Amino acid sequence: MNFGGVEEQVVTRTEFTLEHSKAVLAAETIAVIGYGVQGPGQALNLKDNGFNVIVGQRKNSATWDKAVADGWKPGKDLFEIEEACEKGTIIQYLLSDAGQIALWPVVRKHLTAGKALYFSHGFGITYNDRTGIVPPPDVDVILVAPKGSGTSLRRLFLEGRGLNSSYAVYQDATGRAYDRTFALGVGIGSGYLFETTFKKEVFSDLTGERGTLMGAIQGIFAAQYQTLRENGHSPSEAFNETVEELSQSLMPLIAENGMDWMYANCSTTAQRGALDWWTKFRDATLPVFKSLYESVKTGTEAQISIDSNSRPDYRAKLNAELQEMRESEMWKTGETVRKLRPERSFQK
């Protein structure tokens, strides 16, 4: 398929249908290991689509309780992690990167010949000199990475829509790795699947998370909000002009029709200003993005994550940082603004 003049390998649900996907995996037991960020969405979508799915999670944990609340039944399709790994012919390794490192010795011993090890992030394999995650040569090693959170994957699935995903095959030991990958990608509710590699997936993912998806956007929000407040604008005005209009009005238009369409349907004053200033922001941030990508490429970002996430006080420090953001004036204002949004039923 052609994307902006570049041909890419794409798999859609038209040529690789749900029925064909179920036939490909008819004899498989899909063991979803981890029920945190991606696990619930992928597991529930597979289950609702008619695949044979079980969940592996630690007993007496909040995520075990969440799985039970979502309808998974202990002893039937919800098991302790090691038992699920033993039962599964496809092991969907959906723990956090730090969790994957810690649990690898347990998972590794259940990777018998012919099984498939599935990831939704290329981190563990790409940086295996740091993670120690080196699969045996007689199993398929595959990836389907939804371009969004597990929550979004599930929400769009329930709406009858799909979230696009990348796919990759690192190791095809059985000759069935690609069919397994495509079937799982369709089964979890992907809109379409586009080809990548484990390395490219993690490089783009780490760059995106630190860049426009999370890090850069929060930095830009904070800078504009601060500038408006320092010039006498109220918190409500600063927040609405910085976050609310973008997230509630403009981003849906961009998602539906593209940035050029959104520009064309704004006032001439907005058009002129945006066209004059976007290149300035590009030129100002391009060196930052190049530095970021280099830090990802060299493994620096990976090592920072491994070192940070393995500390015993990591969760407490993370919660403190998130609390600082949550209690900032900008996001406290956002909390109030969200409460004032009209209900959907208000718009007839």
- What pLDDT is stored for residue 224 in this prediction? 97
- What pLDDT is stored for residue 344 in this prediction? 53
Give how far the C-alpha of residue 188 lies from the chain's centroid of Cα atoms, to the nearest Å: 13
Using alpha carbons only, how large is the chain's radius of gyration in Å?
22
- What pLDDT is stored for residue 57 in this prediction? 94
Map out the domains of the chain with their CATH numbers: 2-196 (3.40.50.720), 208-346 (1.10.1040.10)
What's the per-residue H, E or C state across 268-325? HHHHHHHHHHHHHHHHHHHHHHHHHHHHHHCCHHHHHHHHHHCCCCHHHHHHHHHHHH
- DSSP structure string for 199-267: HHHHHHHHHHHHTTTTHHHHHHHHHHHHHHHHTT--HHHHHIIIIIIIIIIIHHHHHHH-HHHHHHTS-
pTM beyond 0.75: yes
- What pLDDT is stored for residue 237 in this prediction? 96
Beta-carbon contacts of 295 under 8 Å, excluding residues fewer than 6 positions away, are: 301
- What pLDDT is stored for residue 311 in this prediction? 86
DSSP conformation class of 344: G
- What pLDDT is stored for residue 4 in this prediction? 82
Catalytic residues: 121
Per-residue model confidence as pLDDT tens for the chain (348 residues)? 888 888 888 899 999 999 999 999 999 999 999 998 899 999 999 999 999 999 999 998 999 999 999 999 999 999 999 999 999 999 999 998 989 999 999 999 999 999 999 999 999 999 999 999 999 999 999 999 999 889 999 999 999 999 999 999 999 999 999 999 999 999 999 989 999 999 999 999 999 999 999 999 999 999 999 999 999 999 999 999 999 999 998 998 898 899 999 888 888 999 999 999 999 999 999 999 999 999 999 999 999 999 988 888 988 999 999 999 999 999 999 999 999 988 654 443
Q: What is the residue type of 42?
A: Q
- What pLDDT is stored for residue 346 in this prediction? 43
